[in-house]
A and B are shown apart, each in its own frame.
Chain A
Amino acid sequence: MATSNVTIDEAGSEERPLLEIRDLAISFQTAGGEFQAVKNAHLTIMPGETVAIVGESGSGKSTTALAAIGLLPENGRVSGGQILLDGEDISHAPERRMIELRGNTIGMVPQDPMSNLNPVWKIGYQVRETLRANGKPNAPADVARVLGEAGLPDSARRAKQYPHEFSGGMRQRALIAIGLSCQPRLLIADEPTSALDVTVQRQILDHLETMTAELGTAVLLITHDLGLAAERADKVVVMYRGNVVEAGPSLELLRNPQHPYTQRLVASAPSLASRRIQAAKAEGIETEELLAPTEAVVEKALSDDVLKVESLSKVFKLRSGVGKSTDFTAVDNVSFNVKRGTTTAIVGESGSGKSTVAQMVLNLLAPTSGRIVFDGVDTSTLNSREIFKFRRRVQPIFQDPYGSLDPMYNIFRTIEEPLRTHKIGDKASREKKVRELLDQVALPQSTMQRYPNELSGGQRQRVAIARALALDPEVIICDEAVSALDVLVQAQVLNLLAELQSNLGLTYLFITHDLAVVRQIADHVCVMQKGKLVETGSTDDVFDSPQQDYTKALLNAIPGASLMLPPVVA
């Protein structure tokens, strides 16, 4: 029963809920006064049940979950409401009581596997101290068993390694092992897989599901991905600006969202949107209509290949002793063409070599063999002056909008810098150009005097786009350009890119691990695996009839892919 307000189906439940959050309010003490992060949150989790909280960053979903395990940051406090764990209000419980509960009653699997393991201790030690602190047997054999149960192969040996010797997926397994090591009754999983590749994500979530089902652990899953939430949880709670705006059984909520915010979220969730296109297709609606912004460009795209990549390979030498080295082939004989005015996506998991291809196309890295032909000229033959000109025509947008903008430059200087470097125009004309660029990326001109840290992630990425556009390039290489953004912001930025493409006739080379994004923006797809190009074709062909097992696996791993949804009118 999807009710748009407070309570979730409590009638007839004889069992007592394991966790019940009532009218929860949380405020933070900041320099600018008191800030209400959570205003009105409620949710109920029955023993063994999985409940997902969905919302964008800043919606208060993580804060709510952290309050339940007593881990609010120092400046945060519960300013109202109750958190009932098995009937006991723990919202203001003393730290001593929380230490008792943490680990063996409430476990946690945190978001980022890279930063949540202490780099200076061995994995086994970090598991062991958890067992010891909660009074469980903690011999090396127990540690190995706990790690093994979380799906870590060869766990006895692995326990003796340090976190940096683990891949992201393996670290997340170790964190799951830690979270579940003391058989807690409730597990808080805060975006447990958002930092991982889709196929790894799927394996880990499957494993987590199996483990919690076996142990009868209730799970509070925090995610920004509605598709993932619907697929994994019994109930979904949608949070927006500190309020629970909607709650109910997952599928019902997705099929029939009541609150306008939920409707927008359903409409822009990329994983669901891709399904929507296919569902729409079945009903006879032309795909092109749904991809309107790119339509005009498709027509323009003649047979003009602006970029040709021919048998490109890159071999890195890895040192393996004095004077010895082993070859590591990062990119293996890759060929593809990019037509002017279209979008080509290179898809693959981390380690597939897709970013190495991007670096070589940008002429930042020399290929071991093969050619990159830009507008009829082999880029390896360019001299330094020609490379300078080449850079004007090919611009990058990188993944991390926090790292790719200089924090000491204000936005005007950031966008103006490429113009100055290439000695274009005088001061006045450059300023005019910056204003135009800000208009193009839909940022107010007053942004010019602000600094990157004063902007949101989406705004920063718009600044990065404006900077890339400053030199009127022909080709833009987007290396995971929207991966770090929330879904709604991601949708806005993708729309902006599509719009700019149709207005300016830009060519995009889109590097991404996210097939759902590819579906929304690309005309052609190249799927890479372990340095090789395994499949290439038009986006529709690849999505509708993938030829390779690997591509199928990637497509299946999109969260929410298994959910059939009717088209949503948003």
Chain B
Amino acid sequence: MTQYILRRLLQVIPVFLGTTLLVYFMVFALPGDPIRALFGDRPPSEAVIAALRQQYNLDQPFWVQYGLFLKNLFTFNLGVDFTGQPIAATLGRIFPVTAMLAVEALAIQAVFGVAFGLIAGLRKGKIFDSTVLVASLVVIAVPTFVLGFVLQLVVGVQLGWAKPTVGSNADWGTLVLPATVLGLVSFAYVLRLTRASVIENMNADYVRTATAKGLSRPRVVLAHILRNSMIPVVTYLGANLGGLMGGAIVTEGIFNVPGVGQKLYQAVIRSEGPTVVAIVSVLVLVFVAANLLVDLLYAWLDPRIRYEK
């Protein structure tokens, strides 16, 4: 087991180098001059531009730029962005916010998705089931920005139940609305996945055997139907955590959440290579960690799966 985890962690190295190189190259290849773009309609003197270029190594060829980036990375010196702020400090500010948002969204979709999915599955073909299925289809069909603006207007502004925007003071309470919007889409998938899994498992032979043993209905449902149905659902949720950590550009934009999505968007617009690559590097690590977590969870949930060493 330990060897398995070590082997998986070693795989991070080529994945990390590959993705950063790719992202760095793509930012490098973006058309336009990032320095000139910074100043808009009133270009500074050529001397200033040259100085800035030198400061950000933009006058160097691609491989040198990438090499310098790696060197800085391994000496824990991420440098400063175009506004002069240390990139490390920016990362330290945006990632906790997005992590909070992601965890809250995940909790919402897990709790409601599994609960509704279980009930719908057990009552397959009944009114509750049909209603939930149609409702979840509507949620899947409506784009996030529509859902986001509608909830912001109705719940945030008209009803006043939650803060319509987050701003600089993000905490669990202020993030409820964006987390709900973010969670809703995957909620529908979690619900459907749970429902399908419950329907498959409730007709399994071992469920009938469990009933024949004289177990009470709640016990059969929890220990035998739900427990076995969680295997694909937990896997999906785990994989989703990685996606949510990548930041939701639209949702964070609507609710003004100072998180990863918003920052990444700005950095891409400004062709800020170092910032983009720094954020993406962290995301790569998050994704790899999330995937490893899913695989380990999977083995824990299903004892038939055991990783060799």
Contact = CB atoms under 8 A, between A and B. Distances in A.
Interface of A: 69, 71, 73, 95, 99-104, 107-108, 110-112, 115-121, 129-130, 133-134, 162, 164, 175, 178-179, 182, 319, 321-322
A103 B214 CA distance: 5
A121 B209 CA distance: 14
Given A118-B206, A319-B308, 7 more contacts: A69-B212, A116-B206, A118-B227, A119-B206, A119-B302, A129-B223, A178-B213
B213 A119 contact: no
Given A120-B303, A129-B219, A129-B223, A134 B214 contact: yes
Contacts of B224: 118
Given A162-B304, A322-B309, A115 B204 contact: yes
A117 B309 CA distance: 27
B55 interface: no
A437 to B, nearest CB: 36
Nearest to B210: A118
Interface of B is mostly: helix
A321 B209 CA distance: 37
Contact of B211 (A71, A100, A115): A71
A129 B214 CA distance: 9
B227 A120 contact: yes
Contacts of A178: 209, 213
Contacts of A117: 206, 209
B223 A110 contact: no
Given A119-B304, A120-B301, A319-B308, A108 B209 contact: yes
B71 interface: no
B213 A116 contact: no
B215 interface: yes
Contacts of B216: 99, 133
Nearest to B308: A319
13 contacts: A71-B208, A99-B214, A99-B217, A102-B212, A104-B214, A115-B205, A116-B208, A119-B228, A119-B303, A129-B223, A130-B214, A321-B309, A322-B3
B214 A112 contact: no
Given A119-B303, A322-B3, A130 B213 contact: yes
Nearest to B201: A118
A130 B214 CA distance: 7
Nearest to A319: B308
B219 to A, nearest CB: 7
Q: Which 9 A-B pairs have the closest CB atoms?
A: A103-B214, A102-B214, A108-B212, A115-B205, A130-B213, A118-B206, A162-B303, A116-B209, A116-B205
Interface string B172-213: 000000000000000000000000000000011110111111
Given A112-B205, A120-B228, A129 B301 contact: no
A193 to B, nearest CB: 16
Contacts of B227: 118, 120-121
Contacts of B205: 110-112, 115-116
Nearest to B211: A71
Nearest to B224: A118
A133 B215 contact: yes
B287 to A, nearest CB: 27
A118 B228 contact: yes
Contacts of A319: 308
B6 to A, nearest CB: 11
